[in-house]
Amino acid sequence: MCVHASGRGGRSIASWHEPTRRLLAATLIGGGYGGTTSALNDLSSAYGDLGAALAGTQVQFVLRVISTMTGAGWAWAALAVAVGWYLGTRHWGAAAGALALTAATATYYALDESLRAEPVLDSDIWIWCVAGLLLGMPLGTVGAYARRAGPLGLLAALTVPAGAAVQMVVLPPGVDGVQVAAEAIWARWLVWLISAICSLWLIAHYRRARPAHRAADIAADQSYA
C-alpha cells in the first residue's frame, strides 16, 4: 500500500526537501573546495609531501599559479556567492553560503594537519569558521540575487569579478610573501582577464535576458517558501 503526502503537510514536506538537498550539496561543494585548496598548496610547494616530486617542474609552476588564485579571498567569496546562486532565494542562499564556507574552512585545516603536520586545534580554524558563518550569509544572499534580472541582479552578479579585480590592486597575492614572483604576476593577470571576460558576458547576458526574467522575479522569493 502506498501512502502519498497530501494537503498542507505534504506540501510542507515537499517544499523543504529540495532546499535541504541543495544545502547538503552546498556543504559538500564547500568541503571539496577547502580540500582542493589545501592539496594545491601542498602540490605547489617544493617542500610539500605531495609537491616534493614536482619541484622545479613546469607542472608545479602552473599549480602554484592556480594555488595563488584559489587561495585568495575573492575565490573563497566566490564559493559562497556560487552556492547562494544555486539555492536561488535569499534565505536559503544565506544558509548555503555560511555552510559552504564553514565546511571549506574545516576541510582545509583538517587536510593541512594531515599533509603538513599542522595541528587543527593550534590553528586559527575557529576564527575562520566564525568568519565563514558571518561572511557567508551576505555573500550567499548576493548569489541568490544574482539570479534576478535588472540592475539589482546585474550588480549582484558583478560582485565576484569586480571584487577579484579590485583585490589584485589593493591586496595583490604573492608567492611565499613575494608579490613580484612570476607565479603571482601570472595569477594577477589571469584574474584580471577572467574578471573582464565574465563582466562583459554578464552585462550582455542580463541585457538579453531581462524581458524573459521579469516575470520570474515576481515569484523568486516564493520558491521553496
Check: pTM over 0.85? Answer yes or no. no
Per-residue pLDDT of the chain (225 residues; tens, 9 = 90+): 444 444 555 555 556 788 899 999 999 999 999 999 999 999 998 888 888 888 888 999 999 999 999 999 999 999 999 999 999 889 999 999 999 999 999 999 999 888 777 676 666 888 999 999 999 999 999 999 998 888 899 999 999 999 999 999 999 988 877 788 999 999 999 999 999 999 999 999 888 876 655 555 555 555 544
| Whole-angstrom distance, CA of residue 35 vs CA of residue 103 | 10
Q: Which residues contact 125 (CB under 8 A, 6 or more apart)?
A: 105, 106, 109
**Residue 34 CB neighbours (<10 A):** 26
Contact 154, 206 (CB under 8 A): yes
Q: 89 vs 32, 132, 145, CA distance in Å?
A: 23, 19, 7
H helices within 54-148, ranges in order? Answer: 58-70, 73-87, 90-116, 125-145
| Whole-angstrom distance, CA of residue 35 vs CA of residue 19 | 24
